[in-house]
Structure 1
């Protein structure tokens, strides 16, 4: 088997769909959907606005960053870089220089199932990163092998090339591209209803227990 496997570039998601996905809160979708959410310990390095993109997947072993450096040259505007570290939690595969390169290629963010480094440089580059914290020991160009645009695993979630990925301060959600629009529209509608309810409660026009049905359940169960 060859050391490197490079799958075809996935079709990019429609920009209008990406704009819709960026309005959908991961925590809203989490009210009814219980799969596709990465381990909550994969978190934003810095507080970020919500971003959504087309999954561009990379699988890289241990302390070898060769496949990632190659992949950065293939990124397109709207791509969201998703990096499977194959269980490695010691070596940071993405730092300031690679963040600059990813942003210059048009990537909207990166999700790494492992640590990153160069927090200040990533902040200066203004490139959103979700990962498992920081580490000082980095990957090198060791030519060990790797794969690109193949199915990967991120925080317990299988990610297919071309999936829709939403990242915000609550976490990372992966949606099959065929389900993304319906879930996003449902989330936006739910958020609008929730905002209207919050305004009524804040104004003293209603109580949350009565509106949600919780009070009726408690009274019925006494």
Structure 2
């Protein structure tokens, strides 16, 4: 399925350029801006779906995939070699509808996966998330599980999931569709919508209003920085990057140049 992201006037837009307007912003700034535009609670992803490690931050256009529980069992494997190669054996017999995902990912993409009520299955793990990063993904989001989480955190892979898991794909989950609208934690996500994450959680911005939201959110951030800088001064605290309004102005000036 093909989607052409457009703004509120129906004009085609480049979400990979628009994502740059979000880079300095916090999720809370964007939530405030969406409230101000009347988008109350739209795009707020349930707090059950959380960054796997603290300090993670990303913004990018969504590349989506939709999964469902498998309706075919995995059979008993006879050799150690087969056990090691279980994924390949499964996909050879039943195919792999998600195989084209990496081709859809560009530098700056956020991969969003709806597992369709599948049970515990480590759809993502420490190896396949690196493949997505190599393709350009700056974030990986799922309402399902991630396994190998110690390695994923050590790698600082930007992984967001509902739970930590232990099991593998064969006999448990199947990809049925790529680049289609999905639901994640109560939020609709379409290809090209802007998905953001930081320690406070996740938010999805419809691409139609994304640039407008980003510019309002910038003003919210600047106001907060100015107020906090005054508190820093009253406390005798040295200024840090979180109150550096000049850096924010330079960032947006470069985008508008």
TM-score (norm 1): 0.79
Q: Distance in 2 between matches of 1:141 and 1:148?
A: 20
Question: Is the deviation greater in 8-17 or in 126-135?
Answer: 8-17
Q: Distance in 1 between matches of 2:65 and 2:15?
A: 22
> Per-residue deviation at 1:141?
7.4
Name stretches of at least 5 consecutive residues in structure 2 with no aligned partner.
6-12, 72-90, 236-257
Q: Aligned in 2, Cα 1:69/1:141: closer, same or farther, shift over 3 Å?
A: farther
Question: Is the deviation greater in 15-24 or in 51-60?
Answer: 15-24
Match of 1:209 in 2: none
> Per-residue deviation at 1:162?
1.2
Q: Aligned in 2, Cα 1:17/1:146: closer, same or farther, shift over 3 Å?
A: same
> Per-residue deviation at 1:174?
0.8
Q: Distance in 2 between matches of 1:67 and 1:48?
A: 33
> Would you say how many aligned residue pairs link Structure 1 and Structure 2?
199
TM-score (norm 2): 0.69
Listed one character per residue, the Cα deviations across residues 144-203 of structure 1 (whole Å, up to 9, x for unaligned) are 551111111001111111111111111111111121111111112111111211232344
Match of 1:136 in 2: 166
Name stretches of at least 5 consecutive residues in structure 1 with no aligned partner.
1-6, 206-222
SS in 2 for 1:30: helix
Question: Is the deviation greater in 25-34 or in 59-68?
Answer: 59-68
SS in 2 for 1:61: strand
Matches within 5 A, 1:45-194: 45-62=52-69, 66-140=96-170, 144=174, 146-194=176-224
Question: Is the deviation greater in 66-75 or in 89-98?
Answer: 66-75
Q: Distance in 2 between matches of 1:67 and 1:142?
A: 14
